[in-house]
Homo-oligomer: A and B are copies of this chain.
């Protein structure tokens, strides 16, 4: 199994075994970083940054240059082609004819998937809005593996803005795949979104424990909010204890404390935000004196603002500059593998945690659109060629997940494309909550976002609706 000519749009594009294989290549790179300049000679990487990001971009460039490859970079794109009304699919096709691999950062969620769909060459997502940033996740996992010798069955506490941080959501799914036990410590108002929790339990076999507020007296610097605790549902002692107390868990220690900053650039700067900023918890020397953190790695995707005190930098548990530094060998390994310059044997057995859910696809032109305004499928320049497409991830309630940005929606009306005996009076729509949703075969299912839309498609309300 080869990674050559593959894309990395979401962390799900790469199996557990492939991740482990990639990390062993990264080890090679790290061990002799100055001796890899023959690997990608003559290859060109195109960096398309529709949103600025010095750190990620320079890390990719350093990686490609250390492999002997060459780089073409556009950080000025917003001001140019987009201003002329060009679609990202056109840009992808054109740049795909110039370069051998594309690295894309874009503010629209799902943009990296579109580039991958059209470029004709391997594409790496370097961040698409609030959706995914899979190479950051790889660097995080690689750091854990370097320090703990494994990425399996770790205990990780996530700290800070668990609501907006794209790095955190990617990381959570990846940790889940490797059987981690995760403790969530969100800042006030920055809790992990419900859809992430739901996905953890349905797709990653996690068991969730919601615990009461922590005792503020006991641990002043830990957030006085409800905490959520997630364990893999594979045999694991803790899931046997329904009333487990998160403090007990915490006191058992965690492998890493993963700190994130307040994602202020993705929010409007309001009074509320000022408040959030003021109450945002800080990891400092004092916190880390707690015995529960004695062997805990302190991780952070950087850049930091105030949530991680400078005084912690000198502490041997601080991993965040290592995480950044590992960005080069990890990205070297990834580039070399996708470009086919390296090949690795991927042990099939290692794939045990890989997610394997085959949801039915919904892509009828029945007026259903992704409700995420920042989704690539909703942008004026892109609707000329992108048709909305979804996975039906649940029938109760009926839930669609956009294949671009992975946001979910619950449409309210359904119909069947089978008109029994071809009678027009059978062209009726029903509530998505009715028993019909399970009677209509997925391939016949028609979904409407509203009664108005159903009627616009010449469907009439069923008896239920007429009540």
Known: A42-B66, A54-B81, A85-B305. 7 other contacts (CB 8 A): A54-B77, A58-B72, A76-B76, A84-B303, A86-B303, A86-B304, A94-B321
A75 at interface, CB cutoff 8 A: yes
How far is it, in angstroms, between the C-alpha of A79 and the C-alpha of B52 when the chains are bound? 7
Asked whether, in the complex, the Cβ of B58 is within 8 Å of the Cβ of A98, the reply is: yes
What copy number does this chain have within its complex?
3
A74 on interface, CB distance cutoff 8 Å: yes
A57 within 8 A of B: yes
**A61 in the interface, Cβ–Cβ < 8 Å?**
yes
Check A55 against B72 for contact (C-beta < 8 Å). no
Q: Does A444 contact B (CB under 8 A)?
A: no
Q: How many angstroms from the CA of A231 to the CA of B32 in the assembled complex?
A: 54
How many chain A residues touch B (CB < 8 A): the figure is 57
Cα separation A37 to B38 with both chains bound (whole Å): 13
A242 CB to nearest B CB, Å: 41
Using known A-B contacts A70-B65, A76-B54, A76-B75, determine if residue A84 contacts B310 with beta carbons closer than 8 Å.
Answer: no
Bitwise interface map of A from 30 to 61 toward B, beta carbon under 8 Å scored 1, else 0:
00001001000110101000001111011101
CB neighbours of A84 from chain B (8 A): 261, 264-265, 303, 305
Docked-complex contact A99 and B303, CB < 8 angstroms:
no
Determine the chain B residues whose CB is within 8 A of the CB of A85 once the complex forms.
261, 303, 305-306
Whether B98 and A62, one on each chain, are in contact in the complex, defined by CB atoms closer than 8 angstroms, is: yes
Nearest-neighbor residue (CB-CB) of A77 within chain B: B54
Question: A78: nearest residue on chain B (CB-CB)?
Answer: B52
Tell me if A83 is interfacial: C-beta within 8 Å of chain B.
Answer: yes
> When each residue 294-320 of chain A gets 1 if its CB lies under 8 Å from chain B and 0 otherwise, what string results?
000000001111100110000000000
- A100 CB, min distance to chain B CBs, angstroms: 9
Residues of B within 8 A of A145 (CB): none
Q: Is the CB of A91 closer than 8 A to any CB of chain B?
A: yes
Q: Could you name 27 residue pairs across A and B whose Cβ atoms are closer than 8 Å?
A: A37-B41, A37-B42, A44-B62, A44-B65, A44-B66, A46-B58, A46-B62, A54-B76, A54-B77, A55-B81, A58-B72, A58-B74, A59-B98, A71-B72, A84-B261, A84-B264, A85-B306, A86-B302, A86-B303, A86-B304, A90-B304, A94-B302, A94-B321, A97-B321, A98-B327, A98-B328, A309-B384
